[in-house]
Structure 1
């Protein structure tokens, strides 16, 4: 892929993230001081990250947990498709439900909003392995929000050919006192 085509793709992907983030996300685009991990450049800030674990609030008492360990190394700043890491989630109510783990294949952040996608590598939901899912997180301190691709396109088993870095608006609320998410904002070089 030529550098111009890759740059155009990155610009299009980042524009989509920034549009979904809105003014609140762009106002928080200052650095966080996080250092790169595994880049070989001591003290260099990683290009982007989404980390943390928390439970979602549901009035019906659902037990829903999402965990993230997604990173874009400093040397890969111009290509969010080189993000690495994993994310996992589980959803149970009255003993019924499922869990899944995915390998990250894209990470875009804008301000305090992150969109991460990945392919399910392990799950107890029949037919889920090999399917791509996307999740959006809005890092609001202790009032984080989260959205997931299957809210609009059907459960992961029913979703075919979901593009990389596609999520939904972060409509769910994190349950107070159950954890927190941290977004390291991306600073593209263009």
Structure 2
């Protein structure tokens, strides 16, 4: 009985040794082919925007209630012009809305306007934009392009806002006479007033690359 058991053990040991030898001779099993890498997603383009609303303090109308709201987003190269203008549009093309509310304390008159944004450009925490007035109860304002500048205050500083009428944008003639000048796209003065209530958020972005 012991002889048979010993013989069987010898046979099994020989079989195992032969199996190990065959695996060593064959070398390691080939690795499974790697799955193809998924194509990298294109980097999302960062676009400029300005959002918010607030009341400003205008020193020449210190008792008046003057408010602005701005919702503007960049839409680069979206507004082509007929030749010889920029046929692909401009990197500062934009969309959105500006609303203006001005309650004149002395007269009680409330002037309002709503304008459609056509241009936006940012630099750091400051933005300038223009919009064409679509509706207003102020004579001569409908169809007029206005310029707005916004500075997003940081580190406890107040937000600031500027506008193209009242203190800026005069066209001085060679003879010294003056007239109100038209406002070109994205043209606005520095943000010369302080926002006393409310908040504006400027999301800056570099100019969009030239379209192919």
Counterparts of 1:122 and 1:46, CA distance in 2: 31
Q: Verify: 1:153 aligned to 2:169, yes or no.
A: yes
More helix by share: 1
Task: Say whether 1:143 aligns with 2:145.
Answer: no
Q: Show the counterpart of 1:69.
A: 71
Structure 1 spans left out of the alignment, 5+ residues: 1-40
How far the C-alpha of 1:160 sits from its partner, in A, is 4.7
Q: Identify which of 99, 102, 110 aligns with 1:91.
A: 102
TM (normalized to structure 1)? 0.67
Residue by residue over 1:49-81, the C-alpha shift from the partner in whole angstroms, topping out at 9 and shown as x without a partner, is 0110000125632101010010014786x9344
d(CA) in 2 for partners of 1:169 and 1:102? 20
| CA distance in structure 2 between the partners assigned to 1:121 and 1:46 by the alignment | 29
Runs of 4+ in 1 over 2 A off after TM superposition: 43-46, 57-61, 73-76, 78-82, 158-161
Q: TM-score, normalised by structure 2?
A: 0.60
Match among 176, 179, 187 for residue 166 of structure 1: 187
Partners of 1:75 and 1:118 in 2: CA distance:
17
- What is the rounded CA distance, in whole Å, between the counterparts of 1:163 and 1:189 in structure 2? 20
Distance of 2:193 and 2:182 partners within structure 1? 24
| CA distances 1:146-178 after superposition (whole Å, capped 9, x unpaired) | 111112126xxx745321111111110011xx2
1:1-190 maps to which residues of 2 (within 5 A)? 44=44, 46-58=46-58, 60-73=62-75, 79-94=90-105, 95-141=108-154, 143-150=158-165, 151-153=167-169, 159-175=180-196, 178-189=197-208
Q: 1:64–1:74: structure 2 CA closer, same or farther, 3 Å change rule?
A: same
Q: RMSD value over aligned CA atoms?
A: 2.7
Structure 1 or 2, whichever has the larger Rg, is 2
Distance 1:160 1:169 in 2: 17
Larger RCO (CA under 8 A, 6+ residues apart): 1
How many residues matched? 144
Q: 2: CA distance between counterparts of 1:168 and 1:58? A: 14
Go from structure 1 to structure 2 and tell me whether the alpha carbon gap of 1:131 and 1:97 turns closer, same or farther (over 3 Å shift). same
